Structure 1
Amino acid sequence: MEEIILDNKPKLIKWLSSDSELFLQYVQAKKLITMSQYSELMDMTAKERVIIRLLDIILGRGENVCRKFLDLLKEDDVNEISPELREWIKTVDTKDQKTETDCKRRKSGDRPIQETANMTRHSGIQVIDQKPDRDYQQRPIQDCQMFLKKNFSLLVQNVKNIDPIIDDLVDLHPESAANVRAKSTDQEKMRKLLGCVNCESIAKDLVIALYKHEKHLMNEMQNNY
């Protein structure tokens, strides 16, 4: 899906720029971008720059988000922005072939080899890594807030890739996200971010984002949890 967007990026910029503000509303409604990213895009004045930045954000969020973005373009209310877009998107196959294959295996009673190889169980935590490129699936930790609290020091000392993690926290208040980004060091950012985790839903989103961007560290902590 990323290659499809990248290969057709100039065309998408041309097609979507005709009504970039309306298109952003659809993108936000599908939660393909965070509130801070939405605010950033709405502050931009040049329509083409808005779409260029939007496509870069989508591409940076991985295969699953790219697929959802292309599925959005298939909706009639969306692709009426451009006749060329409407004709082109009809030719794009967004079906997840891996998911379809796994579903067939499950119906027949078989478990995918990769899933079996990467399944770990420890102290009630189960994580499945089915990650082709940047895609992954995770079974939730039973108490994400407790997990983060117990690993507070390790997270503050070791997490270095803070901004992409913040981008994935769609339920984090924009003001809180801005306060985290304003900190000057990674340690200060992570300490501030953990301080913003005031409910289980945000804690769960943060754990998922950490598994995505700090997989090795999270696996280490999981094994010792």
Structure 2
Amino acid sequence: METVRKNKTFLIDTLSTDASIVLQHVQSDDIILQRDYKNLNHPNYTDEKIIINLLDTVMGRGDETCRKFLKVLEKQELQEIFPQLKHHFTPEQASAERQREREKGSVMAHHKGAEFVDKHREQLIQRVSSVMEIADCLLTQKMITDEMYSEISAAATMQGKMRILYKSLDSKTVKEEFYKVLKEKQRFLVADLEG
């Protein structure tokens, strides 16, 4: 949806030169219904008004409809009618956009792990039993320094080791990695705290 929104002005300017052909394509690809087609192709509407309403309809129906619409814009037939689309909507750009959306979803998942680590700090300090195993994984992934690893190792108790480990959890990325390792090494504890 973000791609359609960001390019809305460009799409209005470009597609308004022949709104009827655009409507035919989006209808034939089942992006809009026959009823939508009739409402959008109102005889009193200018081509610009038709395209504005079409874009609003597509965005109003969510990400999946927007993706289908972008696929229509990638069609060679449409790109021959509207050559400006070649510079904005290619399969490669669509693939890059889908990757950005996946990463955005991944970032949201990172927040979940970081929130878990912050929320359950006291419980984790008291209950994690394999601190050095977790520290080994974080060191291997370069999430903690050798110095921090040595400091964790030198602590006398598991709780002391966890308190020192928590000092190194200084970013959402590190917290997310810690959360992943924790889910792998202490899955029953994580399940208990999440439950």
Q: What range describes the TM-score normalised by the shorter chain of this pair?
A: 0.3 to 0.5
TM-score norm. by structure 1 comes to 0.41
Question: Would you tell me which structure has more helix in proportion to its own residues?
Answer: 2
TM-score norm. by structure 2 comes to 0.47
Q: Name which one, 1 or 2, has greater alpha-carbon Rg.
A: 2
